[in-house]
Structure 1
Amino acid sequence: MMNEAFKINELGNLKFFLGFEIARNQSGISMNQRKYALEILSDTRMMGCKPASTPITHGTHLHQDDSGNYSDVAAYRRHVGRLIYLTNTRLDLTFSVNQLAQFMALPTNLQYQSVVKILRYIKGSPALGLFFPRNSFVQLKAYSDSD
């Protein structure tokens, strides 16, 4: 019925959508943002950096300190914004990135060094993502406000 009202093209199985890479196999569905993560690393000139084993150093307490204000506030906001979008499939980054997002108004050099540490962590595992096993009992439910 929709095909009669609108021209519909069958594109096959979903493989790439809004920066998400989707792969299906016998065991389930995997979803990651590898290409997007590599674009972030390339844009920030961090492709050649040494990978880090954790996104944030244990015991790091981010707060407004006197390490000096970071000079390029717009770049800090852009980096953190891109990292926020990456947390759609990288749940291991969520806590660290949310901590950094609290300092969007006036970031310091300490917060920017934490951004660099997260980028080094991404360098070590750019294809990390979500996996939904075929035999799982998880049900995806979504709600929407029609207003």
Structure 2
Amino acid sequence: MSQYQIIDEPKVKPQQHLIVNPIIILLVGILMPLVWTPPFYGRVWIPLVWIVINGYLLGSPTFKSEVIIAILGGIFWFALPYSMVFILMTIGQHELVNVAVPYLRIANNGIFFLTLYLIVFRQSIPYELFCYFKDKGQR
């Protein structure tokens, strides 16, 4: 018996019970710091690692781009405050460092949420296909 395969159909791993909706990961990334702040900048790397693992388990066709986005987002999140402080110190604007810190926090949150959103946007279609085929197989 021949089988068909849709190109965008996710190739599900045996650990399919660990796959969650990527929007839940985004919401946890937004709301987790309100309840608990993990040590070692865990509020940033835990959702990024979780969403990359979710994409791997989902068999997402855009997995490579998701990993690249996560790595670049993490690098930009880490490098932005240090580079801005270094630039301000280099040009002799020492008093602007204290003024710039709150704005750097806002920019860091923007980088973090943009990174998560871009990955969630890429994972949403394979997740919907996964749910469709999972529900269709149970009927």
Q: Give the TM-score taking structure 2 as reference length.
A: 0.36
Which of the two has greater helix per residue?
Answer: 2
Which of the two has greater strand per residue?
Answer: 1
